[in-house]
Amino acid sequence: EAAINRIAAGEVVERPASAVKELVENALDAGARRITVDCADGGKRLIRVTDDGCGIAADDLPLALSRHATSKIDGTDLLNIHTFGFRGEALPSLGAVGRLTVTSRVAGQDAAEILVEGGTVNAVRPAALNSGTVVTLRELFYATPARLKFLRTDRAESQAIADVVKRLSMAEPFVQFILRDVSGDAPREIFRAEGETGDLFDALHGRLSGVIGREFAENALRIDAEREGLHLTGYAALPTYSRGAAVAQYLFVNGRPVRDKLLVGALRAAYFDFLSRDRHPVAALFLDCDPKLVDVNVHPAKSEVRFRDPGMARGLIVSALRHALAEAGH
Ligand code: ADP
Ligand code: MG
């Protein structure tokens, strides 16, 4: 069992940022409205995710840490997934590659805590916590020095963590996100996004303004298009707005951040006439469809997706963006 956990862990947890992704997604699945991520030494020494979600009952803690135990789907309908998690792999994987502590409290019950080290799950014990869940992962990869060696500098790993948190924050504009570096004596805030209010477009505009920048939000065209069950919403920058060489493309499929060649290609195609070596499309686009039309189950950690009809997804993006650009006089 421990060996299986370690092998699967390599698939799910490549670096600190992948651990952060899994933990923040769990917090979102738990209905959290406030999520705080603390990291020390690029996440290598410490990752701590605190949420105000539904919590895990003391009796369920050992189950949450066992392989393929998920409270989210019953396993029969892998094509119809509405939560980030569905494999029940993240927590056991993290418990196999670091020292993992889960402290949690369900409203009206007592708080409890469980510790996993090197894949060994310890007994549940009472803990102190007001509400929600705190997951702490210490000394990631301490048992596998070979993997530790492949990690990049603390600075690079911190940047990857910030990128993950920012992308997830765009997918959930109503939720508060705070990212802090706790390497030193005093916590240093790296990123903060207050929970937005208003309708989804207002909230998204506010969030994008905070994450990508005011200038982007002020230069962004609102995208809202639909074709045969595929719905595309979001904001795309005017071609005159440039981020220099820095690429800022944020793509989401059914609420999940993805890095998908097909979608990036569609974005490039839409902006083709305006591209140059130092001018890249800047956009935050949300593609939503019946979960049965897209497979997010391709790989546990890679953010790729497979559409049943790739041509239609591409076509919708290209036509919606070209239309918006033309309307704006480009
Ligand atoms: P998955 O997300 O695929 O279900 P995980 O290993 O990430 O698998 O989590 C296992 C289970 O632990 C989840 O199904 C959920 O019931 C519980 N869980 C994990 N994190 C949290 C959290 N932050 N709040 C509430 N429940 C959680
Ligand atoms: Mg999960």
Give the 3-state DSSP-derived string for 281-303, with helices as H, strands as E and coil as C: CCEEEEEECCHHHEECCCCCCCC
pLDDT band at 28 (very low <50, low <70, confident <90, very high): very high
Phi, psi (deg, nearest 5) at residue 258: -130, 155
Ligand 1, atom 7, residue with closest C-alpha: 90
Ligand 1, atom 17, residue with closest C-alpha: 64
To test ligand 1's pocket by mutation, which of 25, 70, 74, 136 has the most ligand atoms within 8 angstroms of CB?
70
Distance, in Å, from the CA atom of 161 to the CA atom of 19, rounded to the nearest integer, reads 9
For the ranges 71-75, 81-85, 170-174, 247-251, the one whose mean pLDDT is highest: 170-174
To test ligand 1's pocket by mutation, which of 11, 26, 54, 172 has the most ligand atoms within 8 angstroms of CB?
26
Position 44 in a domain: yes
C-alpha neighbours within 13 Å on the C-beta side of residue 151: 30
Give residue 120 CA to ligand 1 midpoint distance, Å: 18
Residue 166 has pLDDT above 60, yes or no: yes
Query: Tokens 């805030």, residue?
Result: 189
Distance, in Å, from the CA atom of 35 to the CA atom of 50, rounded to the nearest integer, reads 6
Q: For residue 68, which ligand has an atom nearest its CA?
A: 1
Q: Are residues 127 and 221 in the same domain?
A: no
- State the CB neighbour count (10 A cutoff) for residue 304: 16
Residue 284 has pLDDT above 70, yes or no: yes
Q: Are residues 241 and 167 in the same domain?
A: no
Query: Tokens 């369920």, residue?
Result: 60
Q: Are residues 126 and 266 in the same domain?
A: no
The full 3-state SS of 128-181, as one line of letters, equals: CCCCEEEEEEECCCCCCHHHHHHCCCHHHHHHHHHHHHHHHHHHCCCCEEEEEE
pLDDT in tens, 110-119: 999 999 998 8
DSSP reduced 3-state for 225: strand
Is 211 touching ligand 1 by the criterion CB < 6 Å?
Answer: no
User: Cβ(160)–Cβ(190) under 8 Å?
Assistant: no
Q: For residue 91, which ligand has an atom nearest its CA?
A: 1
Amino acid at 232: L
pLDDT band at 4 (very low <50, low <70, confident <90, very high): low
To test ligand 1's pocket by mutation, which of 36, 86, 91 has the most ligand atoms within 8 angstroms of CB?
91
Q: Are residues 17 and 129 in the same domain?
A: yes
Q: Are residues 160 and 245 in the same domain?
A: no
Give residue 26 CA to ligand 1 midpoint distance, Å: 5
Residue 75 has pLDDT above 60, yes or no: no
Pick the atom of ligand 1 nearest to 88's CA.
8
Overall number of domains in the chain: 2
Of 330, 219, 311, 212, residue with least CA distance to 271: 330
Distance, in Å, from the CA atom of 21 to the CA atom of 303, rounded to the nearest integer, reads 11
Distance, in Å, from the CA atom of 268 to the CA atom of 282, rounded to the nearest integer, reads 10
Give residue 250 CA to ligand 1 midpoint distance, Å: 25
Distance, in Å, from the CA atom of 207 to the CA atom of 216, rounded to the nearest integer, reads 11
Is 133 touching ligand 1 by the criterion CB < 6 Å?
Answer: yes
User: Cβ(168)–Cβ(176) under 8 Å?
Assistant: no
Pick the atom of ligand 1 nearest to 22's CA.
7
Choosing from 136, 161, 193, the residue where a domain stops is: 193
Distance, in Å, from the CA atom of 136 to the CA atom of 263, rounded to the nearest integer, reads 35
pLDDT band at 7 (very low <50, low <70, confident <90, very high): low
Least confident of 75-79, 210-214, 276-280, 302-306: 75-79
Q: Are residues 314 and 243 in the same domain?
A: yes
Query: Tokens 């301490």, residue?
Result: 142
Distance, in Å, from the CA atom of 76 to the CA atom of 183, rounded to the nearest integer, reads 43
Give residue 228 CA to ligand 1 midpoint distance, Å: 34
For residues 319-325, give the mean pLDDT.
Answer: 95
Query: Considering the chain, what is the average pLDDT of its residues?
Result: 89
Give residue 85 CA to ligand 2 midpoint distance, Å: 4
Distance, in Å, from the CA atom of 18 to the CA atom of 264, rounded to the nearest integer, reads 21
C-alpha neighbours within 13 Å on the C-beta side of residue 91: 31
Ligand 1, atom 14, residue with closest C-alpha: 70
Ligand 2 being an ion, which residues bring their Cβ within 5 A of it? 26, 85, 90
Residue 8 has pLDDT above 70, yes or no: no
Distance, in Å, from the CA atom of 90 to the CA atom of 302, rounded to the nearest integer, reads 14
Position 254 in a domain: yes
% of the chain surpassing 90 pLDDT: 62
Give pLDDT, residue 246.
Answer: 57
Q: Are residues 17 and 158 in the same domain?
A: yes
**Pick the residue with more confidence: 212 or 280?**
212
Give residue 64 CA to ligand 2 midpoint distance, Å: 10
Position 165 in a domain: yes
Give pLDDT, residue 151.
Answer: 94
Distance, in Å, from the CA atom of 244 to the CA atom of 136, rounded to the nearest integer, reads 37
Give pLDDT, residue 78.
Answer: 53
Choosing from 161, 193, 225, the residue where a domain stops is: 193
Give residue 23 CA to ligand 2 midpoint distance, Å: 7
Range of the domain at 57: 2-193
Residue 244 has pLDDT above 70, yes or no: no
Least confident of 14-28, 158-172, 239-253: 239-253
Query: Tokens 């982007």, residue?
Result: 216
Distance, in Å, from the CA atom of 170 to the CA atom of 175, rounded to the nearest integer, reads 9
For helices 154-171 and 200-211, what crossing angle results, to 10°? 160
Domain of residue 104, CATH code: 3.30.565.10
Q: Are residues 13 and 46 in the same domain?
A: yes
